[in-house]
Structure 1
Amino acid sequence: MKLAILALDGVFDTGLSVFLDLFSAANEVAAEQGAARPPFELRVVGVRQRIRTAHGLTMGVDPADEMRQPDWVLVPALNTKQPARLVEALGRRDVRDAMAMLRSWHAQGSGVGGACIASFLLAETGLLDGQEATTMWPLAPLFRERYPRVRLDESRMVVASGRVVTAGAAMGHLDLALWLMRQASPETAALVSRLMLVDKRPSQAQYIIPDHLAHADPLIERFERWARERLARGFSLHDAADALAVSPRTLQRRMEAVLGKSPLAFFQDLRVEHAQHLVSIGQGLEEIASEVGYADAATVRSLLRRKLGRGVRELRSALA
């Protein structure tokens, strides 16, 4: 498989290194197993002759426009986590040139993948319009605002939509590399994952902090404060709207636009977050059920398993 890593100035050092290290490891594993040739032909390319990483390291890169058509192009994230800086970076000349290369390669049949903030760059090209995607979960509200034609689900770790694949926050570079590796050889991907101690993370849900997302919008921030005081009482859309002095329709539409979910779904997220915290400090499940407004411990167990992909015992052992 011919792979191009499209690197730009300000690239997230770890993301670039993850791509290089995992595919190099895959080639080494294949050689040890007697493969006649490396399964991955890897080149770092760019729209300039040299790049400078976010930590100030410089490296020469091959000209992207001189590379023969790759099977896949992987884009490591830029290290720009603040919304204003990210939007500014997306307007840079080299970034716009890189987008043009991605559109050209994709039109000729190449697959395109991006992890973390690179999902913004892919969305900016228009290749994700009408498609599903994921991104770095703290920036999901900005993503929804900027790209309303993309069906975003930030709870997922890797989302493949045709020949465009996106992966979640920062260490999602690992998940994206392993996803692509599995397309070539599931056995090699499994061995590399075990050798490099890369755990499976099918979802970002257990890492998402609802409070952080709520701060993206003043109305949602007020709703979050109202909801946290009422977790044990249950949810009423009309009560919430009355308390916030808006119509139920306004609250519903704002939540969908910013967070991609209903007020009830966000209320449930807060319940899960609080229940997870109480589990971590050793509180009994019956007490937890009472504090988050559920009838019994069985309901709490089911809720945590469904939302986080882990049971109570797994959550407690992970925090031990």
Structure 2
Amino acid sequence: MKLDVLALDGVFDSGLSTVLDVFSTANELTAMLQLDVAPFEVAVVGARKRVRTAQGFTVPVTRTLSAGGAADWMVVPAIGCKMPETLEPALRRPDVRDACAALNARAGEGGCIAAACIGTFVLAEAGVLAGHKATTTWWLATLFRQRYPQVLLEDSRMLVNSGHLVTAGAALSHVDMALWLVRQVSPELATLVARYLIVDSRPSQSAYVISDHLSHTDPLVERFERWARGRLADGFSLDEAAKAAGTSKRTLARRMQQVLGKSPLSYVQDLRIERAVHLLRTSDRSLEQIAGMVGYADGVTLRTLLRQRLGRGVREVRLEA
């Protein structure tokens, strides 16, 4: 497999490095174990000849985008802008605009593209993700929805495959993206690389989301969140929720969808799972007791939801304490 890894100026150091490390490790293991797998041919491609990482290190660019290439996949690591105040101006930079044009042209030709974390914003800015399912870094999901309403965002997922496009979630999901690409060549090799790099299965970002951070982006959602946290053990009533938030049921539901991409009830379930995880890690209460404290009738329901939302069982959650 031939891969072009796109390095924009200010590229996220860990993102670029982990992607390259996964493919170099795959090649080393292939040679060491004499596996019948062709080596990965990786080129670092820059929008400009001179590229530096977010930490100021020089990136050894193989060639520029303008030089062309015939790689099987174009891989887009994040740029090192973690908040809207720095990200939005960065997306208007000339080198980013040139990269967007190249990505748009590649997608128009049916070329395969993978992006992780803030790199998904570059794909969306290029118009490549319109009409496709995608994920992004969880703490910028609200901005992503506002900026790219035509993208079908599934930000709870760690990795989303949509035809010839693959997107991954926040920060070190770069590893998940790179392992996915290795898996397309050899599932056995991908498993070996994951073991050597000590990478666990991480199907969801939900376990890492800080609900407070997301809700504080909107005053109405924040009011609803404060009300909901105080009533997790009670049954949920949309009428009472809207009254407490000082709005109508329709407005509350619409705002929740715009900001968080989910219904009020779904968000309450997120808060219940968050509280349950905290209690499992910090107390010796039984699963049945914790279920009652967060509004579920029995431990079976809570156990099922933990597995669905986090991809982990009760024992695994407790061991993380």
Normalised TM-score (structure 2): 0.96
| Alpha-carbon separation, structure 2, partners of 1:227 and 1:276 | 17
**2:37, 2:185 within 8 Å by CA — same for their partners in 1?**
no
Report matched runs for 1:297-308 at 5 Å: 297-308=299-310
Give secondary structure in 2 for the equivalent of 1:57: coil
**1:69, 1:110 within 8 Å by CA — same for their partners in 2?**
no
**1:30, 1:188 within 8 Å by CA — same for their partners in 2?**
yes
| Candidates 292, 295, 304, aligned match of 2:294 | 292
Report matched runs for 1:230-245 at 5 Å: 230-245=231-246
Deviation string, structure 1 residues 83-138 (Cα, Å, up to 9, x no partner):
12111110000000011111222233321111011111111111111110001001
Instruction: Name the counterpart of 1:129.
Output: 130
**1:69, 1:105 within 8 Å by CA — same for their partners in 2?**
no
Deviation string, structure 1 residues 248-270 (Cα, Å, up to 9, x no partner):
00000000111110001001111
Deviates more, 1:169-178 or 1:185-194: 185-194
Give secondary structure in 1 for the equivalent of 2:51: strand
Instruction: Name the counterpart of 1:205.
Output: 206
- Code of the residue aligned with 1:240 in structure 2: it is A
**2:8, 2:79 within 8 Å by CA — same for their partners in 1?**
yes
Give secondary structure in 2 for the equivalent of 1:43: strand
Instruction: Name the counterpart of 2:195.
Output: 194
**2:306, 2:313 within 8 Å by CA — same for their partners in 1?**
yes
Deviation string, structure 1 residues 59-104 (Cα, Å, up to 9, x no partner):
3411122132211000110110111211111000000001111122
Give secondary structure in 1 for the equivalent of 2:104: helix
**2:8, 2:95 within 8 Å by CA — same for their partners in 1?**
yes
| Alpha-carbon separation, structure 2, partners of 1:237 and 1:123 | 34
Deviation string, structure 1 residues 184-240 (Cα, Å, up to 9, x no partner):
111111111111111111111111121111011110001000101111111111111
Gaps of 5+ in 1: none
- Code of the residue aligned with 2:279 in structure 1: it is L
- Code of the residue aligned with 1:159 in structure 2: it is V
Deviates more, 1:3-12 or 1:36-45: 36-45
Instruction: Name the counterpart of 2:41.
Output: 41
Give secondary structure in 2 for the equivalent of 1:50: coil
Normalised TM-score (structure 1): 0.96
Give secondary structure in 1 for the equivalent of 2:315: helix
Taking only aligned residues, the RMSD between alpha carbons, in angstroms, comes to: 1.4
**2:156, 2:206 within 8 Å by CA — same for their partners in 1?**
yes
CA deviation after TM superposition for structure 1 residue 286, in Å: 2.9
Deviates more, 1:171-180 or 1:235-244: 235-244
CA deviation after TM superposition for structure 1 residue 36, in Å: 7.8
- Code of the residue aligned with 2:84 in structure 1: it is P
| Alpha-carbon separation, structure 2, partners of 1:234 and 1:36 | 57
1:79 aligns with 2:68: no
- Code of the residue aligned with 2:34 in structure 1: it is G
Instruction: Name the counterpart of 1:274.
Output: 275
- Code of the residue aligned with 1:314 in structure 2: it is E
CA deviation after TM superposition for structure 1 residue 296, in Å: 2.4
Instruction: Name the counterpart of 2:159.
Output: 158
Pair 160,37 (structure 1): closer, same or farther in 2 beyond 3 Å: closer
Instruction: Name the counterpart of 1:27.
Output: 27
- Code of the residue aligned with 2:133 in structure 1: it is E
| Alpha-carbon separation, structure 1, partners of 2:88 and 2:57 | 23
| Alpha-carbon separation, structure 2, partners of 1:297 and 1:183 | 38
Percent of pairs identical after alignment? 57
Gaps of 5+ in 2: none
Instruction: Name the counterpart of 1:173.
Output: 174
